[in-house]
């Protein structure tokens, strides 16, 4: 038996035993979680009902960084890595379409350093996806949706290259919502409709008199993608914040407490299992 510097006896054998026990408990918890995750995956696959279009609101990067005691930029970097993981999970399950909300129009008001970092990540990830073997093997068509005309030239070039390289694919549809806002999307759709009507020789009064919901739907950013069946928001916030306001009229929602960078496959599978247990009535 030895003594600590404060004079209290210290039993090194006991300390080692306690440390070993803690590691054993941690390993046991990890094994239990892995087993639970595998069971969930089997249940979700066996059920068969999956969203045709999954919406993901990637929330909580900054709070994740704050909780971990690191710079906020680290949280955004971890969040970008997580998006790659979730893409893989969607491909494994065969989800036909997904829209991930990366950057909102409101986010444009953040300080210049943070915004520059987010845009640099967007450029990096767009270039990575353009050469990602998974994208090409699964024929994933990727599009950037939103208002991003004011983005730096190198970011626009990366997004354009990604869209061009996947334009002819007929597999999963992946929409990356950047510079996106639901109100802005509806306004843009109305403008496009009115422009088309004017080009067809209609007056404003005639265009207004004949306006139908389908006319707006036809000009949305996601006009060629089914409306989202299921929308997941991380970080514990229970609100839409403007995500796909028009398209989500009959969407099912799932709010998850975990911050986006900490979103695990088991959390993803739990959400899908919850979706599979719901009866969708579409207002009837």
Q: Which residues are catalytic?
A: 59, 107
- Answer left, alpha or beta for residue 206, where phi above 0 means left and psi between -120 and 50 means alpha: alpha
From the annotation, which residues make up the binding site?
59-64, 72, 76, 104-106, 110, 233, 239-241, 252
Q: Exposed, middle or buried, 11 (CB in 10 Å: 0-12/13-18/19+)?
A: exposed
Least Cα distance to 156 among 119, 106, 118 occurs for: 119
* 261/82 Cα distance (integer angstroms): 6
Helices (H), 69-152: 72-93, 112-130, 133-137
> Which residues are annotated as part of the binding site for Mg(2+)?
59, 252
CA separation for the pair 253, 4 (Å, rounded): 55
Q: What is d(CA 217, CA 212) in angstroms, rounded to the nearest whole number?
A: 9
* Residue ranges with strand state E in 105-256: 141-145, 173-180, 230-233, 252-255
The annotated binding site for substrate is made up of 60-64, 72, 76, 104-106, 110, 233, 239-241
Burial 61-81 (b: 16+ CB within 10 A, else e): bbbbbeeeeeebbbbbbbbbe
CB-based contact 89:265 (threshold 8 Å): yes
């Amino acid at each position: 038996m030895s003594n600590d510097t404060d004079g209290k006896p210290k039993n090194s054998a006991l300390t080692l035993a306690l440390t070993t026990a803690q590691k054993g408990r941690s390993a046991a918890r990890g094994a239990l979680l892995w087993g639970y995750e595998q069971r969930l995956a089997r249940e979700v696959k066996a059920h068969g009902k999956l969203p045709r279009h999954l919406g993901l609101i990637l929330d909580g990067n900054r709070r994740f960084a704050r909780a971990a005691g690191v710079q906020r930029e680290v949280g955004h970097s971890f969040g970008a890595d997580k998006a790659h993981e979730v893409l893989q999970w969607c491909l494994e399950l065969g989800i036909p379409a997904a829209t991930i909300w990366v950057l909102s129009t409101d986010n444009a008001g953040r300080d210049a350093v943070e915004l520059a970092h987010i845009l640099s990540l967007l450029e990096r990830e767009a270039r990575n996806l353009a050469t990602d073997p998974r994208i090409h093997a699964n024929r994933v068509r990727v599009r950037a949706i939103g208002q991003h005309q004011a983005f730096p030239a190198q970011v626009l070039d990366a997004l354009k290259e990604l869209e061009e390289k996947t334009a002819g694919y007929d597999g999963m549809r992946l929409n990356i919502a950047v510079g996106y806002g639901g109100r802005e999307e509806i306004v843009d759709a109305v403008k496009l409709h009115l422009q088309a009507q004017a080009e067809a020789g209609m007056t404003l009064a005639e265009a207004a008199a004949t306006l139908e919901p389908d006319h707006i739907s036809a000009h949305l950013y996601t006009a060629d993608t089914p409306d989202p069946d299921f929308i997941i928001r991380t970080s514990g916030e229970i609100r839409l914040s403007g995500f796909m306001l028009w398209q989500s009229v009959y969407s099912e929602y799932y709010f998850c407490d975990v911050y986006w960078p900490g979103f695990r496959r088991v959390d993803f599978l739990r959400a899908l299992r919850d979706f599979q247990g719901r009866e969708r009535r579409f207002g009837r």
